[in-house]
Amino acid sequence: MTHKNVPRHIAIIMDGNGRWARARGLPRVEGHRRGVESIRNLVTALSKQEDVKYLTLYAFSRENWKRPAKEVGFLMRLLRYFCRRELKMMMKNSVRFTTIGALSSLPKVVREEVRKTRQATQDNDGFTMCLAINYGGRDEIVRAARRVARRAASGDIQARSINERLFARHLQTAGMPDPDLLIRTAGEMRLSNFLLWEASYAELWFTNVLWPDFRMEHLNKAIRAYSSRTRKYGAVEDTR
């Protein structure tokens, strides 16, 4: 990866699995199955470079429970299978696996597989892959606000000491840098309740490519676009 100003943290809303399957006359679940290949391809490639250090993937939103029970059940089994099958790849490439989201709502066998994978990779010091599972940005902010409120009520912190930095330490992404680049596939142009706090200054990049077809060549295109942009964070660009 030879671009300048490469994002340290990339977040992706993986969209288009169902459309990919429908276009081929296949069940929606086949799109999800094929989407796992895209994850494996990106994680393997990113673990071999030095610039991008974090990849956060929107795997299952809180709203996804509204989908047909058969599809949700398949997604839960696929998550368990992914953790089990890809552990060898993660260990080989020193990938640290972590998650955000309300995991307590997942089936016990899925929670256990996720826990074992996190524990097995916790000492890996290379690339970090984070899956957002049963995640919602508003829910994350509300949960952080409750934690801060409890600390204030107990006298552990003073209300006047609450600022953005303190609040961010109570988010599930604490310890990770905010995403520099947020990508959404399949032509949709919305955040869908993903990393609402953390993505405040992320560069956005949208593509019509469906997630099962998304590969490193597409990610490199997004990174090139990111590298060509000037990030001013509200300041005025120095034209001297």
Whether 15 is catalytic: yes
Alpha helix ranges (H) inside the chain = 17-23, 28-46, 69-85, 87-92, 108-121, 137-153, 164-168, 216-227
Active site residue 208: no
Q: What are the C-alpha distances in Å from 148 to residues 109, 151, 188?
A: 31, 5, 34
- The catalytic residue among 41, 64, 93, 193 is 64
In the three-class reduction of DSSP (H, G, I as helix; E, B as strand; rest coil), residue 12 is classed as strand
Calpha distance 46→144 (Å, rounded) = 30
- Residue 138: is it exposed, middle or buried by C-beta count within 10 angstroms (0-12/13-18/19+)? exposed
Reference 102, options 67, 60, 66; nearest CA is: 60
**CA-based nearest residue to 19, from 235, 190, 185:** 185
Tokens of 64: 């996804």
In 3-state terms, what secondary structure has residue 130?
Answer: strand
Distances (CA, A) of 44 to 19, 88, 111, 170: 25, 11, 24, 30
Residues annotated as catalytic are 15, 64
